[in-house]
Each structure stands twice: as structure tokens, then as C-alpha cells.
Amino acid sequence: MVTGIIGRKVGMTQVFDADGTIHPATVIKAGPCVVVQAKSAQADGYEAVQLGLVEEAPAKVGKPLAGHYKKAGVPPTRVRREVKVAPGGDALKAGDQVLVNIFANGDRVDVIGTGRGKGFQGVVKRHHFGGGAATHGSMFHRAPGSIGASSFPSRVIKGMRAGGRMGGATTTVHNLKVLRVDADNHLLVVEGGIPGAPSGYLMVRKAIKAKRIKVAQVEKPKKGKK
């Protein structure tokens, strides 16, 4: 059984429960995906499948990748990801489809995406430094301050927090709850926010460290008291 699917972020919305509770949610267009290659323990040493995200616009690939897709008998895709296969269930082969119905309402998932890049930023924004006094004559507002002594060790120690490129890194958000699954439109609604900008590519997988959903317990009245 496949444990994940490729998708694209659509945007954020709100989901209302029957009692009026509001949940901030993110809509993901998950799939449809096609199996490009199936890996087995005998041939590759582990069980996995290589998925390709089927999109409206056709993808242009070079000759090596074109041969890879021709061998699988599927059209070229712009995005490919390798996904683990859980034990049990029918074995997949090249050309099979993977749809969003591998998830169900209430499941816990991990979402992997690339965060928004913010370019070169200083220490106040990048590392949340407090900065200096804002009054006139301070001459020290958003500078990092001392970064080491001159006599010893006469160098900047590795790991010193400083300005630099911020964001644009691969980020994983764990244990998000699936609120809605729309199999007809290939949509998945998860609770909370996920990394990246709208239309960005994502990987959605079943949570590897899923936490149990806490259920509110009603206190029982003590004996002898009404």
C-alpha cells in the first residue's frame, strides 16, 4: 500500500464543525499520480514506488528520462517523488494510478514542502535579536553586537548567528489532521498551515509518528456526593 502522494498547495480556508467550531485549514490538490517505477526488495533491496504527478500541461524531458517513461508506458511528468510502500495490500506496477482516496477523514499526515524564500536578512528578522536602543544618538539599532574577542580566540567561532539567507528550505509539518477528502476533485483539506506559497509542490504522506487524538473525558461524580 502506498503511503504518500504528490500534490500542490491551493490556499487556506476555514472549515466549520456542526457545533460551529472553526478550524483553519489548507486545501491541497493531491494527485492524480501515476506509478513510473516499482522497486522491489529482490531487485533494489527495498520496497518503494516512484510516482509522477499528472498535470494538465505536458512536460518536456530529455532523452534519458523519455526512455524511462517509455519503459513504464506513461506520459512524462514534471515532478517525480519516491514513496515507501507499507506491507500488505496489492503490489503496484508501472502505470497504476494513486489517488487521494488513500487518505480518509481523521487520518494524520505529514506534509513536506519548500518554505518561502526571504532572501538575505539581518539578525533581527532572521534570529529574532532584540536590537539596541531606538532613541536618538544610540548608533546601535539592528546590529548583531560583539561576535568575539580580539585577543583570544582572535576569530569568529563556528555557528555564530549572523545575517544570511533566510527561508527557502525543505520543511516538514508533522501530525496534521485530515478534515475533508474530495476524491472527485482530487482535493485534500488538512487542519493548520503548511510550508510554501500557493501552487507550490508538496509531498503528503501518512504520519510516521502519529499521535492519538485526545478525547475529552467527563469526570465521574465521587461517591457520597450528589
Type of residue at 100: V
CA dist list (Å): 2 to 100, 155, 162: 11, 51, 42
- The grid cell for 4 is 504518500
| The residue to which cell 532584540 is assigned | 130
Read off the pLDDT of residues 45-93 as tens digits, 9 standing for 90 and up: 888 888 988 888 878 888 888 888 888 888 888 988 988 888 776 778 8
pLDDT bracket for residue 114 (50, 70, 90): very high
**Integer distance in angstroms from the first to the last C-alpha of the chain?**
53
CB 44 within 8 A of CB 208: no
Read off the pLDDT of residues 83-105 as tens digits, 9 standing for 90 and up: 888 877 677 888 888 888 888 88
